[in-house]
Amino acid sequence: MAIENTEKPSKWAYVTFLAGNGDYVKGVVGLAKGLRKVNSDYPLVAAVLNDVPEEHRRILRSQGCIVREIDPILPPDNPIQYAVPYFWINYSKLRIWNFVEYSKMIYLDADIQVYDNIDHLFNTPKGYIYAAMDCFCDKTWSHTPQYNVGYCQQCPEKAMWPTEMGSPPPLHFNAGMFVFEPCHTTYTSLLETLRVTPPTSFAEQDFLNMFFKNKYKPIQQIYNLVLCLLWYHPEKVELEEVKVVHYCAAGSKPWSYTGLEANMDRKDVKMLVEKWWDVFNNETLDFKAEDSVPLATQWLMPSVQEHEKLNFRTEDSATRVFSMPSSVVSLVSEHAITEAQLLRERKRVEIDTTPD
């Protein structure tokens, strides 16, 4: 399927999400510098919660980011065991669907780095959400039927889905990177649906897969290489072709990397961590006053580069929400949000359907 150019480039932007006063701010700085290194034509919007300190916001602005504060979105009261303790805060990412001054955006987690220009993804046909498929082989999926029967959508032929369990699970995308269209109607529907949807282990990722089950179009893994593919599906990875690396495996965050966790002593992982630091430490990639930053009120953009073709998959993209064991949600210092803060926020903030 050929990519179509049907939107005004001046209304396109990248967007990321930041909470708390932890080291994830380094990830956003690295991402801003990475986008400059690959000569992206579009700005990076940082959607930040109100607990992000002013000093971190100043750092982001100094790197050319457009900083936009958003209110947190708290999941309905239904304590469950998240795959990673701080996942609950990621529901706040739903606010980016209300950034309607942009017609199309590419969302990137703060633990992602872009190593090749992906501006052409803005030209994907309208009406869908585009993202790379996730891998079910990691132990964070141990609560799912897929993990328990050894089935993974990356290589479904290796372990066939048992016929007695019905149809195979629908395709499931990793929500660390996706192409989407901000829209008031979609935003309102997201919040209304979330209000009546019990939280699940992968938080907003499960929710987005459920919500967009009929609108999901898979794209190539080169646009979101989750590191676990290196050891679970090495035959699927050609590192020289990878454009986007997602440092989501335990112990792989470059700013806290020690090499002591499982698989972190691999040569390819070490190389990718060093590659991230090469970008982060490159002072020539720091934002300069003479650089052009397209602000929300300034729509002066260069044209996009030559269009590419994407390999879209046509399988049924409906997905399921998995039931999870009950447990009290533990919070982590990584986002510097205490349980007391969570309780205060729960009293202060309700999931509403009014624009920010």
Identify whether the C-beta of residue 124 lies closer than 8 Å to the C-beta of residue 310.
Answer: yes
Query: Pairing relation of β-strands 12-18 and 129-131?
Result: unpaired
**Measured distance CA(142)–CA(148) in Å, rounded:** 7
Identify whether the C-beta of residue 105 lies closer than 8 Å to the C-beta of residue 15.
Answer: yes
Query: Pairing relation of β-strands 104-108 and 12-18?
Result: parallel
**Measured distance CA(325)–CA(209) in Å, rounded:** 20
* Bridge partners (DSSP) listed for residue 246: 112, 226
- The SS3 assignment for 96 reads helix
* Of 93, 90, 21, the residue nearest 50 (C-alpha): 21
* Bridge partners (DSSP) listed for residue 48: 18, 69
CA angle 320, 324, 325 (to 5 degrees): 165
Q: Which residues are catalytic?
A: 93
